[in-house]
Each structure stands twice: as C-alpha cells, then as structure tokens.
Structure 1
Amino acid sequence: MQDITASLERGRPKDLASGAQVLSGQLGKTIQRLRKAYNLSLSELAEQSGVAKSIISQIERNETNPTLATIWRLSQALDVSIERVLATSDEEPFIERFSRADTPRLVSEDGKVRLAIIGWIKTVEWLQWYDVTADPGGVLESDAHQRGSVESLSVTEGTFSVEVAGEVQRAGPGETLRYRCDRPHSVRCLSEAPGRATMVVIMKAAVME
C-alpha cells in the first residue's frame, strides 16, 4: 500500500483519478465480471480486498465514483493490474496484449492445477476459457454451474480424466472431452508428467436450446 500511496503523491493521481471518473460507467461492469470470473460473492471480495461490501455493490451499480486507492485494493484482490481495470472504455484497441503478470490465475484446492484466465473479461457471464496446467495427480473439483451449461477440455499435453455424475472419461493429446457442467464435476491429471489443456465453459446464456 505504501508504493501506491507514494505514486499518488508523485503526481499521477490527478490523471488516474479523472480516468476513474470518466470510466465509472464501465468500471462497475469490469469489477463485477472479474468477481464472477473468480466465483466470488460480494462478501468474499469485501473480505479479500478490505473494501466494504456496500461500497463494492455501489461500484458495480455505478452509484459511486471510487477513489483510486479503493480501485487498487479491488484490483489486488482480483489479481489484475490497476491499469487493466481502468482501461475499459468502449474504444479499446482492436489488438490487445497481456503479459503473464496481467493474466489472472486460479489454483485448485490441492495446489496442483492452475487455470490462467485467457478469455475476454466482457464475455465471462456466458463464455469463459482457460489455459490449464496440472501436476501429476492434480484434481480440480468444481461445483455445478448454471443449468444447461457445457464445458470442453481440449488436451495438448499429458492425459486427463473428467468425472461427472459418476461417469468417467479420459483424453490424451489432440482429444477433447465435452460434458455437462451444471452438476458437480472434476478434472484430474492422470499422466506421470505435467499436463496441459484448454478449458472452455459455455454458460447457459450462450447455449442454444
């Protein structure tokens, strides 16, 4: 926190603070999409960021213009750079480049499966995709998503299995498993070497009946 405070005092705050004002309409949507990408409730994000739940709710509804310090706390809790949170105008460049540090990551409970969120944040409510890396024996346990949602796991390295409702299927390099994810499911790395795959989640809103 000392670093961000120091930078504010050195002259950047006026530009960034005015940017927060201008982008407030998009800022709330960005915070909400990131929060949902991590499956965090308002209370959980409040606990992790130190920002009051009521303030976060107001930000998401665009009912307040948060200070830069508040945006910084939220960006730290959501594992993205503050510049990325603020860069949400409707005139974004056609080509965007993200560094490894700018890519949010999730980790399984056993610490052996890592998901880099490589999908576009604006689609997170209906389409999510991840770069999955897993150590041997790593397991990713997931709760049920919205009813009607579908998940695809395309394996590039190693061997993975997917279990849904007691049914288990496995896939190796070049193979894809597609399955309903609106019920508890798990992904396991079966190979003796680290595995890698691309996971795409199509939420109910995007699934054609």
Structure 2
Amino acid sequence: MLRAVTMGAGKLLGTNLRARRDEQGISLSELARRSGIAKGTLSQLESGAGNPTIETVFSLSNALGVPVSLLLTDSPPSDVVLVRSADIDVLSGEAIDLRLLRRLEHPGGLFEIYNQEIRPDAVQHSDGHPGTEHHVVLTGKMRVTTGGRTEELGAGDYLAFRASGPHHYEAVDGPVRSVLLLEYPPDVYPAPPGPHPVS
C-alpha cells in the first residue's frame, strides 16, 4: 500500500498538544510555566491558530518530555509511505526551515528525519535538547558549532553530536540543503508497551 502523508503543523500541533497535556494532567498555566510560553499563546496553538516556530515547538517538547515528532505527526499505517516535502508545513526558526518527513519508533529508540534548509545571513541557536543530531549536507556549506568546536561541512559530508548542550548552525556562502536525523535513545522517550509502530 502506498500512502502520501501531508501535515498541517498548526492543526496537528494543537490536537497533539492538548492530548499530551491531558495525558499528563497539567493545566495551560503549568505548561506556560514549564515552557516559558505565554498562556494565551498556548491557547491559540491548541485551537490550531498561530504559526509555531522551531523554538516554540522544541520548548513544548522539552516542557512535556516528549519528542518533537509526537507533537507534529499522526501515525499513518502503511507498508510504503511516500512523503512529499512540498506538502509539509515548514517549521521556521532564526535561520532554519524544517520539514518533519518521518518518525521512526522501535524498541531501540526513536528517530526523526527532517528536510532542513539553512538560510544565509543568520545563525540558528539551540540551548540543547535530548538526543543525538546527525547531519548530511546535500548542497551548500554548513558551519556547526558545538562543545567549543566548529566544523564546516560541504556536500556529502556527515557530522553527528550529542545535542544536550548549546549548539548553532549557519550557512556559509549561500543557502544549505541537508538532512537532519534526530536520534533518541530508549531511555529518553521510552517506547510504549506492545507493538512498536513505524509511523
């Protein structure tokens, strides 16, 4: 079976955010306190309104202790899944546009695959989050700084690092297209009991 997956980030985020909050039994006020996001903004997001940024979604992920993909995807059951990047809403940050292509869950952990584009003349900062980041540059030149170390990656280059500490990216001499794989070990976001879906 072949199934094309489309994603409306705002509506899915709203639905999933409310579901995760209800599961954990926390109020909007408590989520606002944990995430540093205003209660009114959270209310808008839960209603499917607004245009969430990368920073907002990662703050909510950290506050709820769930992976980003749990907030942004549904789970299409299929043997073959076709994802058209053009059909996926863009999650934008200071310098990066991300499209979540796939969430892969199995007993050994969780993986999220993103189409990542880095815009020139800006730097994308991250305070850190769980897991390991894997980057493969498709076009352009990307500069990554993490753990006091800076590396420049060209087309075909690969870099991996633990993402728990501050890190940032920037495009060098024009835009960058790359694949970002976020890898979470099972002790960070344990898989639920029973069958382990590939979603």
Q: What's 1:50 paired with? A: 43
Cα root mean square deviation, aligned: 4.1
Write out aligned runs for 1:53-92 (5 A): 73-74=47-48, 88=75, 92=77
Q: Does 1:103 align with 2:88?
A: yes
Letter in 1 for 2:175: P
- Given the alignment of the two structures, is residue 31 of structure 1 paired with residue 12 of structure 2, yes or no? no
Q: d(CA) in 2 for partners of 1:171 and 1:142?
A: 19
User: Which stretch of structure 1 is more off in the superposition, 198-207 or 137-146?
Assistant: 198-207
Q: CA deviation at 1:121?
A: 7.5
Q: Does 1:113 align with 2:89?
A: no
Select the residue among 156, 169, 175 that pairs with 1:174: 156
Question: Residue by residue, what CA displacement relative to the aligned partner does 1:77-136 show, whole Å, maximum 9, x if unpaired?
Answer: 679xxxxx99657xx233344455752422122xx321111122868x832221111222
> Which deviates more, 155-164 or 43-52?
43-52
Q: Compute the TM-score of the two structures, normalised by the length of structure 1.
A: 0.53
Contact conserved, 1:154 with 1:197, CA < 8 A, in 2?
yes
Structure 2 vs 1, CA of residues 87 and 115 (structure 1 numbering), >3 Å: closer, same or farther?
closer
Partner of 1:70: none
Query: Could you say which structure has the higher strand fraction?
Result: 2
Match of 1:164 in 2: 146
The CA deviation at 1:193 is 2.4
Q: Is structure 2 residue 176 aligned with structure 1 residue 195?
A: yes
Q: CA deviation at 1:51?
A: 6.3
Q: Secondary structure at the match of 1:116?
A: strand
Tell me by how many angstroms 1:178 deviates. 1.0
Aligned to 2:126: 142
For the pair shown, the structure with the greater C-alpha radius of gyration is 1
User: Deviation string for 1:186-209 (max 9, x for gaps)?
Assistant: 11111x2221100111123279xx
Question: Percent of aligned pairs with the same residue?
Answer: 21
Q: Which residue in 1 is equivalent to 2:111?
A: 127
| Gap runs ≥5 in structure 2 | 1-11, 22-29, 54-71, 189-199
1:32 deviates by 4.8
> How far did residue 48 of structure 1 move?
3.5
**TM-score normalised by the chain length of structure 2:** 0.55
Cα distance between partner residues in 1 of 2:84 and 2:18: 20
Aligned partners of 1:34 and 1:78 also within 8 Å: no
Report if aligned partners of 1:33, 1:122 keep a CA contact under 8 Å in 2: no
Which structure's relative contact order is higher, taking Cα pairs within 8 Å and 6+ residues apart? 2
Query: Cα gap change, 1:88/1:134 in structure 2, threshold over 3 Å: closer, same or farther?
Result: closer
- Contact 1:45-1:77 within 8 A present in 2 as well: no
Indicate if the aligned counterparts of 2:85 and 2:101 stay in contact, CA closer than 8 A.
no
For the 8 Å contact 1:108–1:140, the answer to whether it is kept is yes
Corresponding residue pairs, total:
144
